[in-house]
Amino acid sequence: MNKNLKILAGIIIIILIIWGISSMNEKDSGNLNSENETIKIGAIMGFTGIASQWAEHHKNAMELAVDEINNSGGVLGKEIEVFFEDSRSESKGAVSSFNKLTFSHPDVDFVFGELWNFLAGPIIPIANEKKITTISPSIINSSLGDINLDKYFFTAGHRVESYENPLNMFFEKNKDLKKITILNLNDSWGTPVGDKVEEISNKNNVEVVLRDQVSIELFDYRSNVLKIIAEEPDVVFVASYGFLESQVVEIIKEKNPEIKIMTSNGIFFEELSKKIQPFHEGVFFLDWKNDAEFEEKYLEEYGMYPMFESQNSYETVNIIKKAIEISKGDPDKYLESLKKVKYQTKNKSYDFSKGNLDSNRSEASLFKVENGEIILVE
Amino acid sequence: MDIFIQLIVNSLIAAALYAMIAVGFNMVYSVSKFFDLAYGTIAVLGAYFVFYFYNLFPDFSLVVITAGGIFFGGFFYFLIQKIFYQKFEERKSSNVVMLVVSLGIMTITQALVAIFFTSQFQTIYLNFESNFKILGAVITPIQVILIFSSIFVFFLIFLFYKFTSIGKKAKALADDPFMSEIVGINTKRIRAIIFFIAGAVVAFAGILSFMDVGIEPTSGFTFLLNSVAAFIIGGPGNFLGSLVGAVIIGFVENFGVFFISGQWKEALTFIVLILFLIFRPDGIFKSKKQNK
């Protein structure tokens, strides 16, 4: 009797689970019908963890564009609706966010994200498998292009080739430089950036006397920095994320102020710098110019300057809008339409016909900190 | 020469941090005889205590907030011992069970810290007037405090075991828990006190590391790994050994990345540890008891 009761209880539980799942699906299909009048974008960013400062600004920029579009009548009469998911700045978090998003919103039109290369990499195969058009606003093309999984995945992020002009300009303006050392993160962003710096240095007859790569998990770069300055270079290039770049710059300036320093862009943004320390005087860095119009709008809305290439997120929403317009609102044609998008702002240029990972045709610029101000080197 | 001195200074800074944690871990291990994986997270708790209250009351004395963080770390670890470890010890649970319990506590604590403070890397910018220079090597005031604190803590622990009644009882408990109970030592009380002191020590280490390079919720595990390596190299139960082990790990890490790629930094510690386990499994200082 006892055993029969257990079997009965088991059957009831199984029936309840099946009923629960099916009613959840019914609810979802109900949502599909009722929400069909909106364009749904799922956005995956690391709102917590090491990428959170980036995520905050990209989310702001994205919402700025969504509000503008919705306030001016939407896309072909439909409003844009965004569902955010936090990847916790972890690869596995990015994957579970993607799965969660596409499970809870199976009718999502586009997925937006991730922001960093090592976070975007794991979601590319899933986007292809689930056939969901996914656009990162910020990851760089290199190190993803050769894995041949880019059918449904796009990036509006800057190409590593965009570093070439400002790097060449830097070497041309500093013809006395003979030796360079490079310190970069050994991830799918830092390594290609380091490769590009090495390539351009060689082309300009500047000898790369040492290149060291460090793990993103390390917080203490002190002895790595000693190694790169022990070679007595004329210039050091550092590609890491903001706070650690700052640590490296401090040590170099303390040990040998004669060495020129160039960094990737993470270190100099106003908000980040305010939290940590003042700008590092005399340091060069590479970045992409935002449009003044975008900066003004952002400043007015959020009371601070946009940072970390966040204009790309603003423009990516507009690119999605353009793709939907080209497709005349047919979701089956979104993917093909996106590949036809060409989009230009004052300082930004996107052409998705150039390839899923090569759409951003904007050039980086060289900046320098002089008398506490950031100036464009021309 | 300048670089060489700086490398030595960097190694000593790392060693000071690992030594504090390794010595505390040694205290705990000697009275509990299991590898407490949650120990490193107490360092993180202490650091986040300071981070939270320093941001909440920026004009309040940092020394007082730090003291609060040290006490909080000790008290939290005392509670963990009372609520969890003591219960499992009373049930005569095996070391494997204790290890799994500590893994659970570590995971929960890390998750709670991430929930309350996000998993964002955190630091504070302490605007000291200037750094110190020793034979061309640069050292910040916080790093000086870290090195001297480590020596001071080690000295205090030495005095504690040598001259206090509780310290002597803790030594007896470490040598033979069964006999300690027979002779009337309140072993539960002694364990609780040792956990409180060790918790305070590791919280202090975490706070200083936070002020030096910053911290995130999972930093505790990295602290623990390096310090356990120092603890094993020095020989379990041997406090001087833990100190020497920490110095070895600090020097290997810093000189290692100078001569080979920086990507090897974490691996180097464990290469040294494995070599010790193969060739000197009882640690540098084999105790007389172990020899017998």
| pLDDT band, residue A197 (cuts 50/70/90) | very high
Q: Which of A220, A244, A255 to mutate to test the interface with B (most CBs of B within 10 A)?
A: A220
Please tell me the class of the A161-287 domain: alpha beta
Residues of B in contact with A213 (CB under 8 A): 261-263
Average confidence (pLDDT) over A15-28 = 51
B14/A220 Cβ within 8 A: yes
CA atoms within 13 A on the CB side of B185: 24
Q: Across the A/B interface, how many CB contacts are shorter than 8 Å? A: 84
The domain segmentation of chain B, as residue ranges, is: 2-291
**What would the two tokens of residue A252 be?**
């170099």
State which residue of chain A sits closest to B266, comparing Cα positions: A218
The per-residue pLDDT for A35 is: 47
The beta-carbon neighbor of B262 closest among A213, A243, A275 is A213
Considering the domain B2-291 in this protein, what is its CATH number?
1.10.3470
User: How many whole angstroms separate alpha carbon B47 and alpha carbon B152?
Assistant: 20
A243/B262 Cβ within 8 A: no
B105 to chain A, closest Cα gap in Å? 21
Asked casually if ipTM beats, i.e. exceeds, 0.85, the reply is no
| pLDDT band, residue A9 (cuts 50/70/90) | low
State which residue of chain B sits closest to A88, comparing Cα positions: B119
B138/A254 Cβ within 8 A: yes
The per-residue pLDDT for B239 is: 93
User: How many whole angstroms separate alpha carbon B151 and alpha carbon B82?
Assistant: 29
The beta-carbon neighbor of B119 closest among A89, A224, A243 is A89
The beta-carbon neighbor of A223 closest among B119, B131, B257 is B257
Residues of B in contact with A230 (CB under 8 A): 3, 258
The per-residue pLDDT for A288 is: 85
The per-residue pLDDT for A368 is: 86
The beta-carbon neighbor of B261 closest among A212, A217, A277 is A212
Residues of B in contact with A89 (CB under 8 A): 119
The per-residue pLDDT for A17 is: 62
The domain segmentation of chain A, as residue ranges, is: 39-152+292-354, 161-287
Least confident of A23-37, A72-86, A112-126, B1-15: A23-37
| pLDDT band, residue A25 (cuts 50/70/90) | very low
The residue written with tokens 């199976």 in the block is A106
Domain A39-152+292-354 bears CATH identifier 3.40.50.2300: yes
The beta-carbon neighbor of A227 closest among B119, B138, B258 is B258
Bridge partners, residue A236, by sequence: A181, A261
Residues of A in contact with B266 (CB under 8 A): 215, 217-218
A255/B2 Cβ within 8 A: yes
Higher pLDDT, A114 or A51: A114
A223/B255 Cβ within 8 A: yes
The beta-carbon neighbor of B213 closest among A213, A219, A226 is A219
Residues of B in contact with A48 (CB under 8 A): 114, 118-120
A184 to chain B, closest Cα gap in Å? 10
**What residues in chain B have per-residue pLDDT under 50?**
291-292
Residues of B in contact with A215 (CB under 8 A): 262-263, 265-266
Domain A39-152+292-354 identical in fold to domain A161-287: yes
Residues of B with CB under 8 A from a CB of A: 2-3, 6-7, 10-11, 13-14, 114, 118-121, 123, 125, 131, 138, 213-216, 219, 222, 253-255, 257-258, 261-263, 265-266
| pLDDT band, residue A26 (cuts 50/70/90) | very low
pTM (predicted TM-score): 0.77
The per-residue pLDDT for A374 is: 78
Q: What string of DSSP letters covers A52-102?
A: HHHHHHHHHHHHHHHHHHHHTT-BTTBEEEEEEEE-TT-HHHHHHHHHHHH
The per-residue pLDDT for A268 is: 52
Position A328 pLDDT exceeds 70: yes
State which residue of chain B sits closest to A273, comparing Cα positions: B125
Q: How many CB atoms lie within 10 A of CB A166?
A: 22
Alpha carbon of B65 to those of A20, B119, B257: distances in Å? 51, 22, 35
- Quick check: B128 and B62 in contact, CB under 8 A? no
Average confidence (pLDDT) over A239-247 = 73
DSSP H/E element including A322:
helix A311-326
The residue written with tokens 């080209």 in the block is A326
State which residue of chain A sits closest to B258, comparing Cα positions: A227
- Quick check: B119 and B128 in contact, CB under 8 A? no
- Quick check: A368 and A375 in contact, CB under 8 A? yes
A218/B114 Cβ within 8 A: no
The per-residue pLDDT for B190 is: 96
- Quick check: B245 and B234 in contact, CB under 8 A? yes
The per-residue pLDDT for A172 is: 93
- Quick check: B134 and B9 in contact, CB under 8 A? yes
A320 to chain B, closest Cα gap in Å? 30
Position A8 pLDDT exceeds 70: no
Q: What string of DSSP letters covers B181-240?
A: HHTT--HHHHHHHHHHHHHHHHHHHHHHHHHHT-B-TTHHHHHHHHHHHHHHHH-TT-HH
Q: What string of DSSP letters covers A211-223?
A: EEEE-TT----HH
B265/A215 Cβ within 8 A: yes
Residue B147 sits at the vertex; the CA angle it makes with B228 and B59, to the nearest 5 degrees, is 110
The beta-carbon neighbor of A213 closest among B138, B219, B261 is B261
- Quick check: A109 and A40 in contact, CB under 8 A? yes
Residues of B in contact with A218 (CB under 8 A): 262, 265-266
A264 to chain B, closest Cα gap in Å? 19
Q: ω before A114 within 30° of 0 (cis)?
A: yes
Query: What would you measure as the largest C-alpha separation in chain B, in angstroms?
Result: 59
- Quick check: B36 and A263 in contact, CB under 8 A? no
Q: What's the pLDDT tens digit per position in B260-286?
A: 887 787 788 889 999 999 998 888 876
Q: What's the pLDDT tens digit per position in A144-173?
A: 655 555 589 999 998 889 999 999 999 999
State which residue of chain A sits closest to B116, comparing Cα positions: A48
The per-residue pLDDT for A313 is: 95
The per-residue pLDDT for A154 is: 92
The beta-carbon neighbor of B257 closest among A48, A227, A275 is A227
Position A352 pLDDT exceeds 70: yes
Cβ contacts of residue B173 below 8 Å, gap of 6+?
Answer: B30, B31, B180, B185, B187, B190, B191
Higher pLDDT, B165 or A243: B165
